[in-house]
Amino acid sequence: MTSVAPKVGPRPVRAPRGTELSCKGWQQEAALRMLMNNLDPDVAEDPDHLIVYGGT
């Protein structure tokens, strides 16, 4: 019997917005949001390649 694994691809990461906390405090929340913003397609320049801003 042959089993085929389901195709698993990258899933989009969305950074939380607003004033609701998903961490214990704002310092932890700030660090989490900075990391998540690097992967958020609405924020990062090229999240698939971790290019988050352009330079000149």
At 10-51, the pLDDT tens digits run: 788 899 999 999 999 999 999 999 999 988 989 888 888 887
Is pLDDT of 54 > 90? Answer: no
> 14-28 burial string, b = 16+ CB within 10 Å, else e?
ebeeeeeeeeeeeee
The pTM score is: 0.68
pLDDT band at residue 53 under the 50/70/90 scheme? low
Q: Please check whether residue 45 is in contact with residue 54, taking contact to mean a CB–CB distance below 8 angstroms.
A: yes
